[in-house]
A and B are shown apart, each in its own frame.
Chain A
Amino acid sequence: MRHRSLLILTTTVTVGALTLSACGSRDDKSGGGEGGDKTTVVIGLDAPLTGDLSALGQGIKNSSELAVKIANKDNEVDGVTFKIQALDDQGQAGTGQQNATKFVGDDEVIGAVGPLNSHVGQSMQKVFGNADMVQVSPANTAPELTQGPDWQKGKKKRLFDTYYRTCATDAVQGPYAAQYLFDKRKFKKAYIIDDKKTYGAGLAGTFTDEFKKLGGKVVGTDHINPDDRDFSAVATKVAKSKADFVYYGGEYPAGAPLSAQISKAGSKALVVGGDALYSEEYTKLGKKNVEGDLATSVGAPLESLDTAKTFMQNYKKAGYKLPYEAYGGYAYDSTRAVILAVKAVVDKNDGKLPDSMDDARKQVTEAMQDVTFDGVTGQVGFDGYGDTTNKQLSVYEVKSGKHEPVQTGTFKES
C-alpha cells in the first residue's frame, strides 16, 4: 500500500509540473500574435460584477465590450484585434488589487479600464504604476487619486502617471450641488450623512465646505454603515432636525432605503447625492418615497448629445440584458481612449506594436496623455493630472419614478 500511494504521489507531482511548465511556455509566446498578421490585444476590465453595486458594474462591462466590438468591426487599428477580459472586484479594495496584479502578470493585457469605486481604484494605482500600464477609470471621483492627498490645501501633485479618468471629480461635484441647492432652491439648512468610504466621505466633505461658504447652515451630521439597511434611528434624527434636505455621500444600495426611511419618519426633507445615487435602482428601491430627490452626475445627460445617441442605439442593438446605467457612457469612452492610445503607438511604430509587452505598455501610457476625441459623454481629453478636461455636470430630479435632468452646466468657483 505504501508503495502504491508513493506512486500516485509521484505521478501527481509529475503531471502537475508538466502542466505548469506547459502554462509557462504558452505565456512566453503570447503577445506575438496568432497566425496571420492580426495581433490580439487584451484590455483588462475591473468592476463590481457581483454584489450590491453590480448594476453599475455590469453596465460598465457591457459598454466596454461594446466599444471593443465596434472598434474591431470598424477596423479602428489596422492589424490589431481587441478583446475585453473582465474581472470582478466585488467593490473590495483587496480584490481589486489582486485583479490588477493579474492583469499586469498577463502578457496579453495592454491596459485596463476600471474600477467603479474610488477606494478600489486607490488600491490598484500602485500596481499599475509599477508596471507602467495605463489605467482609465470611468467612475472614480475621489480627487486624491489624481491630485494627491493634499489637494485641498492647494498642494496638488500627480502620484501616478499611469492613472487617468473620464469622469469629473468630487472636488467639483459636491460644490456644484451646493451651489444649485443654495442659489436655485434657496435651501439653507442641510443635514449631512456619509458612509465613511473614500467616495462618500470625500463628496460629503466638499459639499459641506462649499455650502457653509455660501452661507448655508449644517443642522446635523451622521455617518452610517454602507451594509446596514435599517436607518430608522438616523431618519428620526433628521425629521427632528427640521433640515431642508439631506446631503448623502454614498451609493444607492444604502441611499435608497435611507431616503425612504427618512420620508417614513415624517420628514419632508429630500435627499441629495452624487452620481452614485443616479441609478435606476435608486428609484426602483425607493419607489414613491424618493420622489423629488436630487442627484448630480458628471457630464451632460446622454440623451442630449448626438454622439451619445449612437451609443444608445448600438447598446440596444447589441441586446444586453442590463442597462448601461450611470457609467456606461464613461466606460465606453475609457475603453475607446485605450484603443486610440494603442492606435497612436501603432501608427508611430510603422504599423505594429512594439515586440516587448513592457515597451508596448509604456508607450501606450505615454500616448494616453495626448488622446482626445468626441466621446459619448462629450469632448474627451486629459489634463496634467490625468483628470478629464470635460467639467460638465448635471442635476437630476426624481420625477414620477425616473431621474429627469433639471440643470446642466460647468462648475465655477464661487
Chain B
Amino acid sequence: MHGLPDQLANGLALGALYGLIAIGYTMVYGIVQLINFAHGEIFMIGGFGALTAYLWLPDGTGMALALPLMILLGVVCAVLVAVGAERFAYRPLRGGPRLSPLITAIGLSLALQQAIWAFYPNAKKARPFPQIGGGDIDLGFVTLSREDLFIFISAPVCMLALGLFVAKTRTGRAMQATSQDPDTAKLMGINTDRIIVMAFAIGAAFAAVAAIAQGFKTGEVNFRMGFIAGLKAFTAAVLGGIGNIYGAMVGGLVLGVAEALATAYIGNVPGLEQFGGGSWKDVWAFVLLILVLLLRPQGILGERLADRA
C-alpha cells in the first residue's frame, strides 16, 4: 500500500468537502423533505462570491487578511441566494405535490448556472482562484499542501459549531422539533417558516466554505463546478443517512476516502488492472453506495422512518 497516508489525507480532504456540501442537502431534506437540487449552484455562487472579494482587494493583499473577507462575502452571497430561492421558488409550492418543488429545484439550478455564465465577468471559462502559496507541509508520515489545510481546519470547526447550535440553542432545538413533526412544532409556537429559512441559510454558508476549499484545491472556479460536486454531496448525504447532519459528514468522508483509495489501489488488484485509476473512481464510489444501501437502506447513521424516501 504505497503512499497510504498521503492517499488517506487526499480522501479525507475531498470527503470533508463533500460532507460540508452534504449538510445543506440533509438539513433541508430533514425539515421539508425536499431534495434541493439547486444546492450545487449555491455552492458555486459561494465560490464566485469569495473570488469577487479577492478581486476587490488591492493586489498583493496577504492571505491572512484576504481569507476572512473571502469567506464573509462567499457566505453572504450563498446565503442571500439560498434564502431568496426558498422565499420565491420553494415557499409558494409548499403543501403542493412533492414533485413540483423538485422540478423547480432543477430549473433553478439551470437558471443560476446560466446567470453566472452570462453575467459574471469572464465566467464563460474557468476563473483562476487565488492560492494560499508556500510549500507543502511535511509531517514526516504525510505531506499536506497548504490548500488542503484550509479544509482540515474549517470542516471540523463548522461541524462543531453546528453540533453545538443544534443541541444547545433554542433555535437548534426548534429545528429538531420541526424536523420530527412540523405540525406539532407549529402548534407549540415554533415559527416553522423561520426554521426552514435557517436550514437553507446554514446549508448555504457551509457550501460557501466548501467552495472556497475547492477553489484552493483546484485553483479555479467555474460555472459548472456545482453540478458534479452537488451530485457527489447528495450521494454522501444518502450514504450517511439523509436527514442526519453527522451522517452527511460521515457519508462525505467515506465517499472521499473510497474515491482516493479506488484511484490509488484498485489497479494493483490482480485481474482488476483496467478498472483502476482516476476514471473508474466514481464507479467504485457508487458500488459502495449500492452495497451500503442494500445492507442499511436508511444509510450509515440514518434512522428508519417509514414515511421518508
Q: Taking beta carbons and an 8 Å cutoff, which residues of A are in contact with B?
A: 50-52, 54-55, 193, 196, 221-225, 227-237, 239-240, 253, 256-257, 260-261, 264-266, 281, 284-287, 289
Contact = CB atoms under 8 A, between A and B. Distances in A.
Interface string B68-97: 000000000000000000000000000000
A237 B11 CA distance: 13
Query: Which residue, of A50, A237, A240, has the highest number of chain B Cβ atoms within 10 A?
Result: A237
Given A50-B124, A52-B222, A287-B131, A232 B136 contact: no
A55 B131 CA distance: 23
Given A236-B6, A285-B220, A265 B143 contact: yes
Interface residues of B, number: 41
Contacts of B261: 233
Contact of A229 (B6, B13, B117, B220): B220
Contacts of B267: 222
B182 interface: no
Nearest to A55: B125
Interface string B275-303: 00111111000000000000000000000
Contacts, number: 108
B126 A233 contact: no
A54 B126 contact: no
Interface string B1-32: 01100110011011000000000000000000
Interface string B187-222: 000000000000000000000000000100111101
A234 B277 CA distance: 7
Contacts of A284: 128
A222 B222 CA distance: 25
A96 to B, nearest CB: 19
Interface string B246-290: 000000000000011101100100000000011111100000000
A230 B14 contact: yes
Contact of B145 (A52, A229, A264, A287): A264
A222 B266 CA distance: 12
A196 B279 contact: yes
A225 B128 contact: no
5 contacts: A223-B278, A229-B225, A236-B10, A237-B264, A257-B218
Given A232-B13, A233-B261, 11 more contacts: A52-B222, A52-B224, A223-B280, A230-B217, A234-B278, A236-B264, A256-B220, A264-B147, A265-B145, A266-B138, A284-B128
Contacts of B2: 240
B117 A50 contact: yes
Contacts of B164: none
A234 B10 CA distance: 10
Query: Which residue, of B7, B218, B225, has the highest number of chain A Cβ atoms within 10 A?
Result: B218
Given A52-B224, A233-B264, A228 B125 contact: no
Contact of B214 (A50, A222, A224, A229): A229
Nearest to B218: A229
A187 B133 CA distance: 29
B228 interface: yes
B124 A257 contact: no
A233 B10 CA distance: 6
B132 to A, nearest CB: 10
A222 B262 CA distance: 12
A281 B278 contact: no
A265 B147 CA distance: 11
A46 B202 CA distance: 44
